Amino acid sequence: MLGTAHHTGINHGSTLPTNTRETANSEFLSLVGSRVKKIRKEKKLTRKVLSEHSGVSERYLALLESGQGNVSIALLRQVAQSLDVEPEILISNTAPVNSESRLLLGLLGGLTSSDRLRLKNQILKELRNSPVSRSYRIALIGMKGAGKTTVGERLSTILDIPFVEIDKEIEKLADAPLSEIFITYGQEGYRNLEKTCLENLLRNGSNCIISTGGGIVQEPSVYDLLLSTCYTVWLKASPKEHMDRVVAQGDLRPIAGNSKAMDQLKNILLKRQSSYEKADLTVTTDGKAPGIIASQILADRTLRKLIQHTN
């Protein structure tokens, strides 16, 4: 999982301290348990039904899903077979590949590149027209200073799902700060990295809160992908609020030696407004605390349906 999600990188060497090994093992068991629970719920199976199909006791399944079950390879295989997934899916961070998915992948392999592109666009369109059918991912969009990080962290705490900042994932992928990325790769290179990070995140298939870069709306293919696969929320602030928040964070670059900084910010917001308005929800953030903004987002009827549909 990207960002703050748990990711288990187990070092099999014998030099790991005992507490480090214990932590890694604990994270691994939590990962397996959450994956079993997620797939079981997606398939609308109760623990009792899964127990009957797999031959694994309900009590053991409960321990397994809570990350406390020290599962054996044989029992894990039985559970995987009953969930119709490969055993390795339960111990990895990749999205589940069941029999239907494998069939679709096989069919896609026989299509031309133009047909695959057409099919992808059609699927994205269908997802966009049916928000409840989308995965439970909330993407926050808006200019720098809109409050995406603070609100995103608050939503992450309330919903108990990871918070991911795309810009930080870009820096990790390129192994360089954003300032160097723009100098080295330019705007186009940054957009390519942004798309790769978003696709990696979507491929994982897990619930999360996503904070996007302010300019993600400028690349139609990336923005369409975001709109089609995430519940998008525009955190809308006035130009003055944007500027004040950025300066309050210690970033004086927007105003340093630039008497027209406010006019430039207003122009950028005006140019991007129609794109930002494509979001599923718009929340004005001026003068509001992060907790209030998070509550307004979670009060949205469509989002509540999406959360209930997933849980």
pLDDT of residue 255: 47
Q: Which of 52, 82, 99 is the last residue of a domain?
A: 99
List phi, psi (to 5°) of 17.
Answer: -60, 155
Which domain range does residue 69 map to? 18-99
pLDDT of residue 276: 94
Q: Which of 66, 99, 132 is the last residue of a domain?
A: 99
Residue 88 included in any domain: yes
Please give the Cα distance from 217 to 11 (Å, whole number).
Answer: 40
Residue 9 included in any domain: no
Residue 202 included in any domain: yes
Least confident of 113-122, 137-146, 183-192: 113-122
Count: domains in the chain: 2
At position 36, the amino acid (one-letter code) is: V
Query: Do 39 and 163 reside in the same domain of the chain?
Result: no
Query: Do 56 and 157 reside in the same domain of the chain?
Result: no
pLDDT of residue 102: 65
Query: Do 159 and 290 reside in the same domain of the chain?
Result: yes
pLDDT of residue 90: 79
Least confident of 103-112, 145-154, 190-199: 103-112
Query: Do 44 and 152 reside in the same domain of the chain?
Result: no
For the domain that residue 242 is a member of, what is the CATH number? 3.40.50.300
Query: Do 128 and 37 reside in the same domain of the chain?
Result: no
pLDDT of residue 279: 93
Query: Do 159 and 301 reside in the same domain of the chain?
Result: yes
Provide the b/e sequence for 269-297 (b: ≥16 CB within 10 Å).
Answer: beebeebbebbbbebebeebebeebbebb
Residue 8 included in any domain: no
Query: Do 189 and 284 reside in the same domain of the chain?
Result: yes
Residue 3 included in any domain: no
Higher-pLDDT residue of 138, 109: 138
pLDDT at 11 over 50: no
Query: Do 138 and 189 reside in the same domain of the chain?
Result: yes
pLDDT at 231 over 80: yes
For the domain that residue 43 is a member of, what is the CATH number? 1.10.260.40
pTM for this predicted structure = 0.60
Query: Do 83 and 44 reside in the same domain of the chain?
Result: yes
Residue 144: which of 237, 226, 223 has the closest Cα?
237
List phi, psi (to 5°) of 181.
Answer: -60, -45
Average pLDDT rounded to a whole number, residues 115-127? 73
pLDDT of residue 113: 82
Q: Strand 208-211: give its sheet, edge to edge.
A: 163-165, 208-211, 137-141, 231-236, 281-284
Read off the pLDDT of residues 174-226 as tens digits, 9 standing for 90 and up: 888 988 988 888 888 888 899 889 888 887 767 889 999 989 998 888 898 89
CA 186 to chain centre: 25
Read off the pLDDT of residues 27-76 as tens digits, 9 standing for 90 and up: 778 888 888 888 888 888 899 999 988 888 888 888 888 888 776 777 88
State which H helix or E strand residue 239 sits in. Answer: helix 239-248
pLDDT at 7 over 60: no
% the chain with pLDDT above 90:
21
DSSP H stretches of helix in 110-215? 113-129, 148-159, 166-174, 178-204
Query: Do 177 and 38 reside in the same domain of the chain?
Result: no
Q: Which of 31, 66, 99 is the last residue of a domain?
A: 99
Please give the Cα distance from 115 to 113 (Å, whole number).
Answer: 5
Query: Do 208 and 284 reside in the same domain of the chain?
Result: yes
Query: Do 91 and 188 reside in the same domain of the chain?
Result: no
Residue 116 binned pLDDT confidence (cut-offs 50, 70, 90): confident
